[in-house]
Structure 1
Amino acid sequence: MPAGEAAARAADDDVIAVGRVGPARGVRGETFVEPWTDAPHERFAPGNRLRTEPASAGPLEVDASSTAGGKLVVHFAGVVDRAGAEALRGVTLFVRAADRPPLADAEEFYDTDLVGLAAVGVDGAPIGPVRDVLHAAGASYLVLDVAGHERLVPFVAAIVPSVDVAAGTVTVDPPPGLFDL
């Protein structure tokens, strides 16, 4: 599941953070980029236009991308020297939420499809909002705000039997004691 990508229900102006510009590489305007996506070669393919924060730094168009020493190297159109590349250092890069590829499996979700959904019990009682999605030790967890306390809920079908992004809900069937910590 691509980390840090925005919801399909997002408006056309909603954006997904996909990386941050790092230091310059060489003297011809190339930069190292810290990717925040599982598909960096798709996000940073030549011709892709990226919004920026601060907005005054962009938009930036990818001219070329490659890897060097296992790190992503991107050359942006119009950046011709090391000084231009260094001026971009620290800039956060975004794509439009509407531009992300569709998922092939109806049972898969982008993390940010889930963030903000209202968690409800199988009886429909409100539990709290989904604040985040964590991936650790080969498992995924929903981070819920339950009465002002963060609670991790394993994102497995036995505990999370349904997700309805369009309705804005995720159904949780917690085992006894899950929220009693």
Structure 2
Amino acid sequence: MKLQLAFSNDQNEIEISEEWIQQLEELLQIAGQSENISSGEVTLTFVDDKSIHQLNKQYRGIDTPTDVLSFAMQDSGFEETEIFYEDDFEFDEVTTMLGDVVISVTTAKRQSEEYGHSLQREIGFLFVHGFLHLIGYDHQDEQSEKEMFNKQEQILLEAGLTR
């Protein structure tokens, strides 16, 4: 079994090539291996700044666009409502939904230009960042930020996405 990537492109600013999707699938496998996660599904959605701005405001209370958002499905936070299904609903025991990653290609393009690397590398960086959030990593303090960013760079390096 391997990690699965489902994606949708909900923006018209930048063409998302099949090559990019293949590279993101490879990044997902490398990231999963590095964290001993061999199965599950991640949904990736490409949006523009307007869409991610709305999501950021709605779900995080921050009234500005951002580069990437992650919505983990495996979190069981204190205030989350438990979902009950009817008895005849059958779960797919094989595939666990890890969560959703949403990337603003508008912001990714701007950041790639600011940092002086390719848009492909920036989108890869944001995707790995989002994936690590889905599996529990965070960067609330300097130590956890350093650990998370080191993991990201190692995964990107292994995939050949260097600066």
Tell me which protein shows more helix as a share of its residues. 2
Report the structure number with the largest CA radius of gyration. 1
**TM-score of the superposed pair, with normalisation by structure 2:** 0.27
Structure with the bigger RCO (C-alpha within 8 Å, sep 6+) is: 2
**TM-score of the superposed pair, with normalisation by structure 1:** 0.26
